[in-house]
Amino acid sequence: MKSSFRASLVNGPFQDCALYVALRWQGDALLFDLGRIDRLNPANCLRLSHVFVSHTHMDHFMGFDQLLRLTLPRDRELTFSGPPGLIDNIAGKLAGYTWNLTESYLFRLVVIERHEAHLARASFRASNGFARESLPDLPVAPGRLIDTPMFRIETATLNHRIPCLAFAVSEPRHLNIRAEVLEARGWTPGPWLSRLKAAVRAGNDDEQILVPAAGEPVRMNAGILRRELVDDQAGQRIAYVVDTLFDRDNAERIVALARAADVLYSEARFLDVDRDEAEKRHHLTARQAGFLARAAGVCRLEVFHFSPRYQGMAQAFHTEARAEYIGETRLEDEVSWAADLVDPRPVAAPSAAVSDEPHGGRLS
């Protein structure tokens, strides 16, 4: 079963942060950070339904204007989610322009701030000049941000001298109907299969499902149908971590968020030879990113957001991250607390695990 996510970095590894995740079957897309997004074509921009902002440093947020320019004439709602302060940041951006000719526009923004135990929200409509309209706060469980039928977003708040959000996007389990069983039983496919899948997702094994069999339809227990008919597979999980200090608190949060992810997109601003400077600037080195990927047992690591000072040295980042990820170098031999975080299970496919692609499969 193919995953419904197709993820690609918008820019090269020395450029601004933006990770585009297309939802294959819905036509919608998600964007994690929006530094410069000139390379993202307009058609892909117009598919966006949600944008997740780690923090509002320019290299993660300056694409806001370009995205607004493209989507403004559309009948669309775009949801931005990020750390505390995002509502003010977006209000400030919007206040920088004049909106006297947009009364008939249908475009609107919803902005969500992830606070410790609640979500603060506001909306901005083009039709009233993007005046800020407060929405009621929503309580939220730890680590959760958004749940939709097609994806779930979880967050961890990291220390970048300001709060910086890391994200994980996961898809629901894949429930596939065994066609050969359907045929053997003489059951006709139809909307009852969607009802069965909904019951399986909700864990309602006792729900009665009307099955259109040859002759008389029969009522059957969802649990019995599930065991006979449904292949249940875990969905894909992608973690996105940028701009953070390598210390025990942050590392624990990242490892918990990225645990067993299919892919971890991680910043690696510095090479480990410059680890003191990385610490001063609250950024990761390539080696630290490799360690976090190994500790979390992720299947694949993509490093990016390299400092321009290393221009032409992308391979050194991949080599350093990979050596740590496969355990050739072991950061826990040098950092006392690191051993407590390492997942004892081996990584999935070490030989091919860290992408050597200089641009991480970016989107055209």
Binding site for Zn ion (CB under 5 A): 57, 59, 243
- Name the nearest CA neighbour of 315 among 287, 279, 356: 356
Looking at the chain, how many residues does it have? Answer: 364
* Cα(190)–Cα(313) distance, integer angstroms: 56
Which CB, 90 or 242, lies closer to Zn ion? Answer: 242
In DSSP terms, which residues pair with 112 in a beta bridge? 81, 121
CB of 19 to Zn ion, least distance (A): 13
Q: 């117009």: which residue's tokens?
A: 46
The C-alpha angle 164, 283, 353, rounded to 5 degrees, equals 95
CB of 265 to Zn ion, least distance (A): 13
Which CB, 197 or 269, lies closer to Zn ion? Answer: 269
The number of helix segments (H) and strand segments (E) in the chain equals 11, 18
- Name the nearest CA neighbour of 86 among 119, 121, 113, 61: 113
Which CB, 243 or 262, lies closer to Zn ion? Answer: 243
CB of 35 to Zn ion, least distance (A): 8
CB of 54 to Zn ion, least distance (A): 8
CB of 177 to Zn ion, least distance (A): 45
Please give the radius of gyration of the chain, using alpha carbons only, rounded to the nearest integer: 23
Which CB, 268 or 341, lies closer to Zn ion? Answer: 268
Which CB, 11 or 44, lies closer to Zn ion? Answer: 11
CB of 58 to Zn ion, least distance (A): 9
Cβ-Cβ contacts under 8 Å for 282 (sequence gap 6 or more): 159, 160, 161, 243, 244, 245
Which CB, 59 or 113, lies closer to Zn ion? Answer: 59
